[in-house]
């Protein structure tokens, strides 16, 4: 499950998204340069092949490692998009373009938010949407909604099969895993699955907080939010931490985990982006990223634990902190927040920021592991994560080894 939000102001658009997916489904930051393609070329997306266009824009994506498409991303023109699963009464196709494919295709082919909306609608009509959307839950599929922004405008695009509705955003707007555009939502929403996703709870929370937000630091707080009055994740027996924007897996019927987070400040001629590149923004660090500052040494994560990728190195911190969140997070929270505030105001280049972040991750992980005690989560949460650790061959006790190469 996911949450995406935007604020449209005079001269600026703010954007933020948490991507919530299966807990072991590593998500990678992926830079792709502008490219020219041969006439008649074909493009293989996640499940289907479609005609390629003659030229594609440079993009920066945050995508599940096994998908061609992406959960969120931006392009060289500042077009920035976040995707949401939505549950509708329309038939789910066995194959087609996934919502993540549609997102990446729009970023590669459109230079404005309006053109990106038109691109997704056109592709939807030509190829439809469908296919499996989860690595762990075989056959799990859904339809999609999007927030599509550029430095001047932003839109909500909601779909149900090949049907769609569009709403231009004025002021603050959040979406989650349910249809929201009046008329379209009443006609197509699957009310039972929408209820199970807890999206109404999360959207009420994000919308309320968003309407009081003024800058990127406020967006970071929303993405880290565990619900009204809660400083730590709360776990329901049925769906774990699905009731708050910062989602923590652990339910016996439905479980989802925030596996990547993104914030953007879009202005004409000046677009800034920050991404975690890791799970659980409450335990992580937003780092400045840019389409023209590719990083080569973040690793190639999969669903198997390794110490060569940033995503899995951070899991040694994330999975330790959440065993006793209120005691262990404060070990490094103040330092993390101070660095992040400075980076939101004056972002360094990506290579320098990621190098510093790697050193901090090593230090924070060692400090947290040195003070780690008993796991204070409920028995069903402990059992859930023990199973995910076994499936990914993740050793909770093994610390990542920092080398300068990891931070170059």
> Which positions are catalytic?
2
Six token digits for residue 346: 């004056």
CB 60 within 8 A of CB 291: yes
Task: Name 232's bridge partners.
Answer: none
Distance CA 168, CA 155 (A): 4
Sign of torsion, CA 371 377 379 383?
negative
Residue with tokens 């199973």, as numbered in its chain: 387
Tell which residue, 263, 13, 292, has the closest CA to residue 149.
13
CB 47 within 8 A of CB 66: no
Distance CA 94, CA 92 (A): 7
CB 167 within 8 A of CB 183: no
DSSP of 298-338: S----SS--SSSHHHHHHHHHHHHGGGHHHHGGGTHHHHHH
Q: Residue 62 in 3-state DSSP?
A: strand
Task: Name 107's bridge partners.
Answer: none
Six token digits for residue 200: 């109404």
Q: Per residue in 319-349, is it b (16+ CB within 10 Å) or e — as a string?
A: bbbbbbbeebbeebeeebeebbeebbeebee
Residue with tokens 């028995």, as numbered in its chain: 379
Neighbour tally for 163: CB within 10 Å: 14
């Amino acid at each position: 499950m996911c949450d995406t939000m935007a604020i449209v102001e005079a001269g600026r658009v703010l954007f933020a998204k948490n991507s919530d997916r299966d807990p072991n489904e590593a998500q990678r930051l992926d830079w792709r340069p502008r490219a020219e393609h041969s006439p008649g070329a074909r493009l293989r997306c996640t499940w289907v092949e479609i005609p390629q266009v003659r030229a594609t824009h440079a993009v920066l994506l945050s995508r599940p490692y096994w998908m061609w498409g992406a959960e969120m991303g931006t392009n060289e023109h500042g077009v920035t998009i976040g995707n949401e699963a939505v549950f509708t009464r329309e038939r789910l196709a066995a194959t087609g373009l996934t919502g993540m494919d549609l997102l990446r295709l729009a970023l590669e082919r459109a230079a404005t938010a309006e053109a990106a909306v038109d691109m997704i609608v056109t592709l939807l009509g030509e190829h439809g949407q469908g296919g499996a959307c989860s690595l762990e839950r075989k056959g799990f599929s859904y339809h999609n909604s999007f927030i599509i922004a550029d430095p001047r405008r932003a839109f909500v695009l909601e779909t149900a099969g090949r049907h769609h509705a569009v709403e231009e955003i004025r002021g603050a707007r959040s979406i989650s895993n349910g249809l929201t555009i009046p008329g379209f939502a009443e006609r197509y929403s699957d009310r039972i699955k929408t209820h199970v996703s807890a999206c109404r709870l999360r959207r009420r929370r994000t919308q309320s907080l968003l309407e009081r937000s003024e800058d990127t630091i406020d967006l970071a707080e929303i993405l880290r939010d565990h619900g009204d009055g809660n400083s730590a994740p709360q776990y329901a027996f049925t769906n774990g931490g699905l009731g708050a924007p910062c989602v923590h897996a652990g339910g016996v019927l439905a479980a989802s985990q925030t596996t990547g987070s993104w914030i953007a400040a879009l202005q004409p001629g000046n677009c800034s982006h920050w991404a975690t590149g890791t799970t659980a923004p409450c335990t992580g660090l937003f780092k400045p990223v840019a389409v023209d500052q590719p990083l080569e040494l973040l690793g190639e994560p999969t669903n198997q634990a390794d110490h060569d990728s940033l995503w899995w190195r951070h899991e040694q911190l994330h999975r330790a902190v959440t065993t006793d969140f209120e005691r262990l997070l404060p070990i490094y929270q103040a330092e993390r927040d101070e660095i992040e505030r400075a980076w939101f105001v004056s972002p360094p280049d990506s290579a320098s920021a990621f190098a510093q972040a790697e050193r901090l991750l090593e230090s924070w992980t060692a400090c947290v592991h040195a003070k780690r005690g008993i796991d204070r989560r409920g028995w069903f949460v402990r059992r859930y994560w023990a199973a995910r650790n076994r499936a990914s061959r993740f050793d909770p006790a093994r610390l990542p080894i920092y080398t300068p190469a990891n931070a170059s």
